[in-house]
Amino acid sequence: MAVSVLRLGHRAFRDKRVSTHVALVARAFGASNLYYTGDHDSELEKSVDKITTAWGGPFKIEHVKGYTKFIQNFDGEKIHLTMYGLPYEKETKKLNKKDKLIIVGGQKVPWDVYEIVDKNIAVTSQPHSEIAALAVFLEHTSDKPKFKNAQQHIIPKEKGKEVVKNG
């Protein structure tokens, strides 16, 4: 099962850090693609590609012009993360084995998104953040990723830091 993330409404001047973190969480927790709407931002793409080059992939970031057709044409289960949705604890048990498109918002999410997806799922019914919602959701639903072609990897340690260059 492949997992992709769609981040809605990126604003190049205000959202660079949050969108970068959405991408990093998506990659670290097993998604293979981050699609985003809003401003096309080559700096965002470069910084995400740099992480993928250093720490491994496959992971692609790609701008898409509009969300409606993109969501409708996605061949798989389309899940919008929103505090107004049904609790993830129950809903994640009902997911099928199809590929997944996980949609997260930024500012106000347009109403039709709630209608064109298969499910609206909440990670608590409280407002928080797209980064946190995505991390919790993927931790509960995705397989642990195996990163390929990394330039380096970490040796986990109780204290200190150890990063080893791959041969």
Q: What is the DSSP-derived secondary structure letter of residue 148?
A: B
Contact 142, 30 (CB under 8 A): yes
* Strands across the sheet containing 33-38: 60-63, 33-38, 3-10, 100-104, 77-87, 119-122
Give strand ranges (E) for 32-146: 33-38, 60-63, 77-87, 100-104, 119-122
Measured between its terminal Cα atoms, the distance across the chain in Å is 30
Name the closest residue to ligand SAM (Cβ): 105
Q: Which is nearer to ligand SAM, 44 or 104 (CB)?
A: 104
Nearest distance, CB of residue 70 and ligand SAM, angstroms: 16
Residues that bind ligand SAM (CB under 6 A): 81-83, 104-106, 108-109, 122-124, 126-130, 133
Q: Which is nearer to ligand SAM, 58 or 87 (CB)?
A: 87
Nearest distance, CB of residue 89 and ligand SAM, angstroms: 12
Q: Which is nearer to ligand SAM, 25 or 109 (CB)?
A: 109
Nearest distance, CB of residue 103 and ligand SAM, angstroms: 7
Nearest distance, CB of residue 82 and ligand SAM, angstroms: 5
Between helices 16-28 and 130-141, what is the axis angle to 10°? 10
Q: Which is nearer to ligand SAM, 124 or 151 (CB)?
A: 124
What would the two tokens of residue 132 be?
Answer: 């946190």
Between helices 16-28 and 42-55, what is the axis angle to 10°? 30
Q: Which is nearer to ligand SAM, 3 or 52 (CB)?
A: 3
